[in-house]
C-alpha cells in the first residue's frame, strides 16, 4: 500500500517535553499539509509544503511548533515544551496537483 | 468564526434509504468543495468533490449537490449501507485565490448511523 503513513500512531508525553512526529506522503505527491483535530471539531490547517519549501503557516502554529520537509519527501512536526492544550490528533495529508488531499491515519498526542 | 458549518451533529437512517448530509459555507472565496468520511482512530478518507462551476457530481452511490447562491451543499448516499456509518466532514478550498496552497477548511462533521 502506498498511502500516507504517520509515525508514531500514539504518543503520551509529560508537559514540558519535546515530541516529534513523522509523515511519509504518497511518493509522487509534491504537496504536503499538516492539520490538527481536537475532539468534536474538524481538522484545522497548520502548515503547507510544496516540495521542500514551507509556504504557509497558520496562526495556530505557535513558535513552539516547527515543521520541516528537508528533501521534499517525508516531513517532521516538532512540538517543544508541550502543553496540555497540545493534546490532539495530528494529521498529515498529501496531494499532487489537485485540491483533493489524502490523509494519513494521524498521530494522537496526549500531554499529561 | 465557522466558515464551514454542518449544523446536524448526527443523522440516523435505515439501511437501503437515502442519507442526506448538509453543509453551509460563508466564505465567498471558496470555490471547491469536498466530502470526507472518517472512521474512529483513522484519518479522513476522500469521498467526492465538486467545483463551483458545477452544481452536481455523482460517483456511484454518492452524489454531491452545490447551490452557490445559497452557499449550500449536500451529500446524498443512495442506498445507505451499514458500512457507511461514520463521521462525514464537509471541506472547502479557495482554489482559484492564487498560489498552490489548497488548504482545506472543515466543518465539525456529522455522525451518520445506518441501521440494519
Listing DSSP states for B87-113 in one string gives EEEEEEE-GGGSSS----EE---EEEE
Pick the closest to residue A111 from A39, A16, A9 (CA basis).
Answer: A16
- pLDDT exceeds 70 at position A106: yes
Collect all residues of chain B within an 8 Å Cβ-Cβ radius of residue A50.
Answer: 100-101
Would an 8 Å CB–CB cutoff place B105 in contact with chain A? yes
Q: How confident is the model at residue B91 (pLDDT cuts 50, 70, 90)?
A: very high
The number of C-alpha atoms within 13 Å of B47 and in the hemisphere containing its C-beta is: 26
Q: How far apart are CA A78 and CA A71, in angstroms?
A: 17
- Do you know the residue count of chain B? 116
- pLDDT exceeds 60 at position B50: yes
- pLDDT exceeds 90 at position B100: no
- Residue A16, Cβ neighbours under 10 Å: how many? 10
Identify the pLDDT of residue A77. Answer: 98
Residues A103/B47, Cβ–Cβ less than 8 Å: no
Would an 8 Å CB–CB cutoff place B34 in contact with chain A? yes
Nearest CB to B108; choose among A33, A42, A108: A42
Rounded average pLDDT over B42-65? 96
Cβ contact, residue pair A106, B43, below 8 Å: yes
Q: How far apart are CA B67 and CA B39, in angstroms?
A: 28
Would an 8 Å CB–CB cutoff place B94 in contact with chain A? no
Identify the pLDDT of residue B111. Answer: 98
Collect all residues of chain A within an 8 Å Cβ-Cβ radius of residue B91.
Answer: 42
Rounded average pLDDT over A31-57? 94
Residues B18/B80, Cβ–Cβ less than 8 Å: yes
Q: How confident is the model at residue B96 (pLDDT cuts 50, 70, 90)?
A: low
**Model pLDDT for residues B55-77, shown as the tens digit of each residue:** 999 999 999 999 999 999 999 99
Q: Which cell numbers in the block locate residue B108? A: 465539525
CA distances from B106 to A48, A92, B67, B115 (A): 16, 15, 18, 26
The number of C-alpha atoms within 13 Å of B29 and in the hemisphere containing its C-beta is: 11
Identify the pLDDT of residue A1. Answer: 55
Identify the pLDDT of residue B99. Answer: 66
Pick the closest to residue B93 from B101, B103, B85 (CA basis).
Answer: B103
The distance of A53 to chain B (nearest Cα, Å) reads 12
Taking CA–CA distances from A105, the nearest residue in chain B reads B43
The torsion angles phi and psi of B83, rounded to 5 degrees, stand at -65, -10
Identify the pLDDT of residue B22. Answer: 98
Cβ contact, residue pair B46, A56, below 8 Å: no
- pLDDT exceeds 60 at position B105: yes
Amino acid at each position: 500500500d502506498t498511502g500516507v503513513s504517520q509515525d508514531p500512531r500514539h504518543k503520551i508525553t509529560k508537559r514540558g517535553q519535546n515530541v516529534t512526529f513523522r509523515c511519509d506522503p504518497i511518493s509522487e505527491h509534491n504537496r504536503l499539509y499538516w492539520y490538527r483535530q481536537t475532539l468534536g471539531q474538524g481538522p484545522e490547517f497548520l502548515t503547507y509544503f510544496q516540495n521542500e519549501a514551507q509556504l504557509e503557516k497558520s496562526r495556530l502554529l505557535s513558535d513552539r511548533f516547527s515543521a520541516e520537509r528537508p528533501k521534499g519527501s517525508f516531513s517532521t512536526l516538532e512540538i517543544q515544551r508541550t502543553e496540555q492544550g497540545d493534546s490532539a490528533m495530528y494529521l498529515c495529508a498529501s496531494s499532487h496537483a489537485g485540491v483533493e488531499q489524502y490523509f494519513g491515519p494521524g498521530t494522537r498526542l496526549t500531554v499529561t | 468564526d465557522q466558515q464551514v458549518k454542518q449544523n446536524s451533529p448526527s443523522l440516523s437512517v435505515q439501511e437501503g434509504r437515502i442519507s442526506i448530509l448538509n453543509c453551509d459555507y460563508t466564505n465567498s472565496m471558496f470555490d471547491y468543495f469536498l466530502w470526507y468520511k472518517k472512521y474512529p482512530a483513522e484519518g479522513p478518507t476522500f469521498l467526492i468533490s465538486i467545483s463551483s462551476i458545477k452544481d452536481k457530481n455523482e460517483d456511484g452511490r454518492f452524489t454531491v449537490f452545490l447551490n452557490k447562491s445559497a452557499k449550500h451543499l449536500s451529500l446524498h448516499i443512495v442506498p445507505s449501507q451499514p458500512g457507511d456509518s461514520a463521521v462525514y466532514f464537509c471541506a472547502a478550498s479557495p482554489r482559484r485565490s492564487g498560489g498552490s496552497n489548497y488548504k482545506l477548511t472543515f466543518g465539525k462533521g456529522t455522525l451518520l448511523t445506518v441501521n440494519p
